[in-house]
Structure 1
Amino acid sequence: MESEMTTRGIFYLSLTVLGVPGNSVVIWAFVQLSFCAGHLLPADAIVLHLAFANLMVVGVRCLLETLATFEVYNVFTDAGCKAVIFVYRTSRSLSIWLTFVLSVYQCLSTAAPGSRWAAARVVMGKNLAVIFLLLWLLNTSMSSAAILFSLSSSGSNSTVMKNNINVRFCFVRFPSKLSVDANGAAQVGRDLVPIILMATASIIILVFLYRHSHQIKNIRRNANNSGGGPTAERRAAITVVVLVMLYVTFYGVDNGLWVYTLTKTMSSSIVSDLRIFFSSLYAAVSPFVIIVSNKKVNRLLRCRPGDRFLQGPAESR
């Protein structure tokens, strides 16, 4: 049992060590952009918001789970369980939906100038504040069950509790099997909708990249010029597709385990730990995809206060 807890602590510690600095760097980079360039482009604002949501996932859940596992600090009283699970579920679902918003915006960016889709991208960019507000309202309301039903495991008799989800230091105890199934279906639906739309947007982006690469090859062949590298727009599109692939992989496992827990009257804490690990893995890994693939972020990290960050033509769209 002790070795199991040690392994659990190491897993959560690794997510914390990766996720907190990684997301903090992305946030700092785009804060610098806002200061140096004087504004944030819509795609940058979405990435900044995504990094903040991911930071909440690893900073609130993974860090506290690590401290509690190694008995450094334990916040998991009844009130602590309600707060931690509520913030974790809200930020986790925000991370999913913001990745979806980013994929939709990038998909619309591939539209021909002057088209209705290009106009839709402009409208979307101008109304990002409203979109963010709606996402917060949607996800906080759907995570409210954590406030109502979360309890500390230290004060609960797990042998007699039914219709609950065991997350090691806490239980999410539902009043009936019907409420468990209803809550589970709502959460699966909340994840399934963006994953279908996200996958569709990614396919459109890949088709655009394929066609665009053939057009570039033909132009270079005709001009007898083989130089040049990928454009900033192409790099941004590839980054979004990679993020979507990570989402599908990690959250696919997470939701598969979630559906499994719904079939059990008393779920195992190991299954819940695996769910939290895979859903938090996206929050820990995704900032490094952004840092490695986004040249603008690399330049931003070297930007100093008082410097003016100059954006290229492709980046200023």
Structure 2
Amino acid sequence: MSSLKHIYFFQAGIGVLANVFLLLFYTSTIYRDHRPKPTDMVTCHLVFVHIVMLFTILDILSANMFMSLNFPNDFKCKALLYMSRVMRGLSICTTCLLSIIQVITISPSTFCLSRFKHKLTNYVSHALFCFWSLNLSSNSNMIIYSVGHSNMTNLLNVSKYCSLSSVNSIIMELFFILTLSQNVFFVGIMLLSSAYMVILLSSHQKRSEYLHSINISPRISPAKRATHTVLLLVTFFVIMYCLDIIISSFSTMLWKYDPVVLDVQRLVGSIYATVSPLVLISSDKRIISILQNVIDMTSISKS
């Protein structure tokens, strides 16, 4: 196993543990609260998507788990490639939804979307249903064109065990354009919402400086802290997405299985799923308080 694979398995392990912790936390929070926060619901969905994404990308699943279940090789490839593409699309959509909700939450009453502020919880479930429907349909070409390794020609190898058929390349290009347009649209919405949040934070910063000048100590509000977290997540996601697009284009141009390129692509494509839960954990006061209580109890029991 190459050093890149070791790095990826280590990264994926941390990501799975962090996302599972967040999933348990947000699930229990939503269960306890009669009126859960929209951001908690969206974040819970995001960490679930990332758990599935990390598992589907792992080579050990395609090499050993499905083999032990005696599934046909074509089924293994279709299931893994389709699910990984769907989860990747859902990650983009859910991160975009998180940024939109944060914009609505911190916006003044004069903002055009502020009328949705008190009904966000109802709209979140509808939005997530639409995201699932969109990604399940837009990535359906993976079911048709993904195949196990065979003696066929004109195959694009995407892993050690799976390939994409280049038959009906026009249809494949149409699906590629559809998926790319969908992703670019959601990334564009992220950038617009981020720019709006930066403008709001800038105006709030000027107000805070004024309060500080008249000896009133300004406090960082929970909404402002949450906005900083969302901005950090969106910025990191956009950077990783652009890198993934560049590497994917290079891999497609090679039109062959290059383990190094695919390992780098897998590493870049999954790093957001690993980093995002760590950012969310470090920025949520509720989680920090729980962890601090656990540390205190541990130190007391040891003493």
Normalising by structure 1, we get a TM-score of 0.83
Cα distance in 1 for partners of 2:104, 2:19 equals 26
Cα distance in 2 for partners of 1:15, 1:66 equals 14
Match of 1:225 in 2: 216
Match of 1:313 in 2: none
Helix, strand or coil at the partner of 1:161: coil
Which residue, out of 34, 39, 42, partners 2:38?
Answer: 42
Q: Residue 292 in 1 paired to residue 288 in 2?
A: no
Which residue, out of 81, 85, 104, partners 2:77?
Answer: 81
Question: Which amino acid in the other structure matches residue 236 of structure 1?
Answer: A
Helix, strand or coil at the partner of 2:178: helix
Q: Mark the runs of 5 or more structure 1 residues left unpaired by the alignment.
A: 305-317
Deviation for aligned residue 1:281: 0.9
Deviation for aligned residue 1:280: 1.0
Match of 1:96 in 2: 92
Q: Residue 205 in 1 paired to residue 197 in 2?
A: yes
Which residue, out of 132, 136, 152, partners 2:132?
Answer: 136
Contact 1:180-1:262 within 8 A present in 2 as well? no
Match of 1:191 in 2: 183
Match of 1:12 in 2: 8
Q: Residue 122 in 1 paired to residue 112 in 2?
A: no
Contact 2:160-2:257 within 8 A present in 1 as well? no
Question: Which amino acid in the other structure matches residue 201 of structure 2?
Answer: L
The 1:122–1:260 alpha-carbon spacing in structure 2 relative to 1, beyond 3 Å, is: farther
Helix, strand or coil at the partner of 1:116: coil
The 1:121–1:255 alpha-carbon spacing in structure 2 relative to 1, beyond 3 Å, is: farther
Cα distance in 2 for partners of 1:200, 1:90 equals 24
Cα distance in 2 for partners of 1:151, 1:171 equals 5
Alignment length (residue pairs): 291
Deviation for aligned residue 1:143: 1.5
The 1:207–1:273 alpha-carbon spacing in structure 2 relative to 1, beyond 3 Å, is: same
Q: Mark the runs of 5 or more structure 2 residues left unpaired by the alignment.
A: 295-303
State the structure with bigger RCO (CA 8 A, min sep 6), 1 or 2. 1
Q: Residue 216 in 1 paired to residue 208 in 2?
A: yes
Match of 1:311 in 2: none
| Deviation digits for residues 30-76 of structure 1 (CA, Å, limit 9, x no counterpart) | 122123333421111011111111111012222xx14667x687478
Cα distance in 2 for partners of 1:273, 1:182 equals 27
Alignment of 1:240-255 (within 5 A): 240-255=230-245
Cα distance in 2 for partners of 1:149, 1:115 equals 45
Contact 1:9-1:66 within 8 A present in 2 as well? no
Match of 2:298 in 1: none
Contact 1:24-1:55 within 8 A present in 2 as well? yes
Deviation for aligned residue 1:264: 4.5
Task: Kindly report the root-mean-square deviation, in angstroms, between the aligned alpha carbons of the 2 structures.
Answer: 2.5
| Deviation digits for residues 262-287 of structure 1 (CA, Å, limit 9, x no counterpart) | 44444634333322221111111110
Q: Residue 257 in 1 paired to residue 253 in 2?
A: no
Deviation for aligned residue 1:84: 1.1
Cα distance in 1 for partners of 2:221, 2:142 equals 45
The 1:148–1:48 alpha-carbon spacing in structure 2 relative to 1, beyond 3 Å, is: same
Deviation for aligned residue 1:121: 3.3
Helix, strand or coil at the partner of 1:127: helix
Match of 1:315 in 2: none
Alignment of 1:148-163 (within 5 A): 148-153=144-149, 156-157=150-151, 161-163=153-155
Q: Residue 22 in 1 paired to residue 12 in 2?
A: no
Cα distance in 2 for partners of 1:130, 1:225 equals 43
Cα distance in 2 for partners of 1:37, 1:166 equals 44
| Deviation digits for residues 100-157 of structure 1 (CA, Å, limit 9, x no counterpart) | 000011112221136432113334432111111100000011111121122223xx13
Contact 2:5-2:263 within 8 A present in 1 as well? no
Contact 1:18-1:285 within 8 A present in 2 as well? no
Helix, strand or coil at the partner of 1:167: coil
